[in-house]
A and B are shown apart, each in its own frame.
Chain A
Amino acid sequence: DVVLTQTPVAQPVTLGDQASISCRSSQSLVHSNGNTYLEWYLQKPGQSPQLLIYKVSNRFSGVPDRFIGSGSGSDFTLKISRVEPEDLGVYYCFQATHDPRTFGGGTKLELK
């Protein structure tokens, strides 16, 4: 199975700061069709996960442009510029290139 390792496990931030979350895969996430199916989800306390980014760098409808996904192969990053209160929660990366699909362990974005 593909293992997605997220770092850090917790990211203390001050509102207005930039935050960066890493997601490293145990193998390349490039599909045989050339696409890379790496997604980012945010789960706010008591809520369902919500889609932020799909195929590495595509923002879902309504997601602010302060969320930027990047990376390739097996190394991916989610950057959040100018963190706002509604950005707090747990961030998960997810890969849909290989079966079984897998989630990263999560990164909690919290206030310092």
Chain B
Amino acid sequence: QIQLVQSGPELKKPGESVKISCKASGYTFTDYAMHWVKQAPGKGLKWMGWINTYTGKPTYADDFKGRFVFSLEASASTANLQISNLKNEDTATYFCARRGRNGTYYRFDYWGQGVMVTVSS
């Protein structure tokens, strides 16, 4: 069955870096783009951007340019999100979600379980 399994919770200090992963299974990894969504505690969903799993090209929403990097380990069907120079406001749950390229499959039909990243001194 199709699954997106994300890595475990992280506790970091301000200024540190974190890398979280999203391992896909049950489908051809390169057939679907991977998107990232942030949810701060008690808040709504915020779209961060996406990575083309076929070409590796990332696209970032403006608020996530600079300290955020999307990457792939395509051989392992895994998408990664790295955040550097962590700030308190990065405390959030981060979801990965797959999205088809077009047509009927152009929607977030499967989501990871989310990774809680806590930034605290």
Task: Answer yes or no: are A and B bound together in one complex.
Answer: yes
Interface residues on A, range: 20 to 34
The distance in angstroms between the C-alpha atoms of A102 and B61, with both chains bound, is 10
- Is A92 interfacial (CB-CB < 8 Å)? yes
If A100-B61, A100-B62 touch, does A48 touch B107 (CB 8 Å cutoff)?
Answer: no
B95 and A49 contacting across the interface, CB-CB below 8 Å: yes
Distance in Å: Cβ of A9 to nearest Cβ of chain B:
10
Interface residues on chain B, number (Cβ under 8 Å): 22
Bound-state Cα–Cα, A106 to B44, Å: 6
Chain A residues near B46: list those with CB within 8 A: 103
The minimal Cβ–Cβ distance linking A80 to chain B, given in whole angstroms, is 19
**A interface with B by C-beta (< 8 Å):** 37, 39, 41, 43, 48-51, 54-55, 58, 60, 90, 92, 94, 96, 99-106
